Amino acid sequence: MAEIRAWASKGPKQKLEPFVFNPGALGVDEVEITVEYCGLCHSDLSMINNDWGLSQYPVVPGHEIVGRITLLGSNVKGLQLGQKVGIGWNAGSCMHCHECIEGNHNLCLSAQPTIVSHHGGFAERVRAHWIWVIPLPDTLDTATAGPLLCGGITVFSPLLTFGIKPTHHVGIVGIGGLGHMGIKFSKAWGCEVTAFTSTASKKNEAKALGAHHVVSTQDHDALTKIASSLDLLIVTVNVPMDWTGLLNTLRPNGRLHVVGAVLEPMAIPAINLIFGQKSVSGSPTGSPAALSTMLAFAARHQIAPQVEFFLLSQVNEALAHLQAGKARYRIVLQADFA
């Protein structure tokens, strides 16, 4: 099997370097795709830095992959050579546990993440189990589709999972890589949308993205003013927040849903959950069916992440840009192996 050229980190917090590996024989259920574009997600940085203690070096990051199928295993179903597809956070799941059979493959306890003990999309080619290789609608722009496959599905999934209706009012905390897509999806879903930001300068940006209202998370009076108004609050940031203040913005039966990995434990006052029957929850990306649904919805409503492009060979500059908090709002790397 032909070797694969990639960009890899050889140890925690190290710059990515060119790395060549032999992928071995293609599994019967595997698909190999030639990478055209790959989004840069904060989780790539977490894996490079071993923030979660899961990293096995060399780490080849990249899990917002868009490309074309160039090899098919003999058991692959429903995909064709040359087809335009995407791969997100997961590259495999067991296919026989209760969650897989139920269609919730993203909750499979032995799911194989694309960049954990598996080489990801900062490479010429990448492999995944066929069920995780998601066909892209023809009308979706290939260059900007990558970030939908991790960041996009992460904020879209809660709308599906919790039966959010157009009559609901959704709040999005944080206007960044995930949050800006959350605003666009909730708006297109038909909901009233309130964006929460700690950055005053992002107020107009949030409105331009489609938010009906923008509230400062630093302004306790502003939070009090919108008390008991939201049905779902999606928290995309990974820093501790005024959880009591945010819970108070929820209507009865409302839900505070975290998709940003806040490392510090969250202090949630029980009484604020009990009165009003409120919930606090979290979720990881989405199932293959949810990914397909999200891509079809994005294509129909022409929802694309707002991205900045770098060549894959400039990946270290791109990582520095992300780390400095300068990405507006998502970075996409274009594969440029000569």
List residues near Zn ion by CB under 5 A: 41, 43, 93-94, 97, 100, 108, 150
Residue 100 or 290 with smaller CB distance to Zn ion: 100
Shortest Cβ 94–Zn ion spacing (Å):
3
Read off the DSSP letter of residue 64: S
Cβ atoms of 51 and 261 within 8 Å: the answer is no
Q: Could you tell me the smallest distance in angstroms from the CB atom of residue 181 to Zn ion?
A: 12
Treating both helix axes as pointing N-terminal to C-terminal, what angle do 288-300 and 179-188 enclose, rounded to 10 degrees? 70
CB 63, min distance to Zn ion, A? 5
Q: Are 191 and 166 in contact (CB under 8 A)?
A: yes
By beta-carbon proximity to Zn ion, the closer residue of 229 and 238 is: 238
Of 41 and 331, nearer to Zn ion (C-beta) is 41
CB-wise, 12 or 103, nearer to Zn ion? 103
Residue 291 Cα distances to 157, 186, 190, 197, 296, angstroms: 8, 16, 20, 27, 9
> Over the range 171-187, which residues count as b (16 or more CB within 10 Å of their CB) and which as e?
bbbbbbbbbbbbbbbbb
- In this complex, which beta carbon is closest to Zn ion, that of residue 151 or of residue 254? 151
- CB within 8 A of 256, min separation 6: which ones? 233, 235, 243, 246, 247, 250, 278, 279, 280, 281
Kindly state the smallest distance separating residue 39's Cβ from Zn ion, in Å: 8
Q: In the complex, what is the shortest distance from the CB of residue 88 to Zn ion, in angstroms, rounded to a whole number?
A: 7
Instruction: Round to whole Å and give the CA distance between 204 and 256.
Output: 25
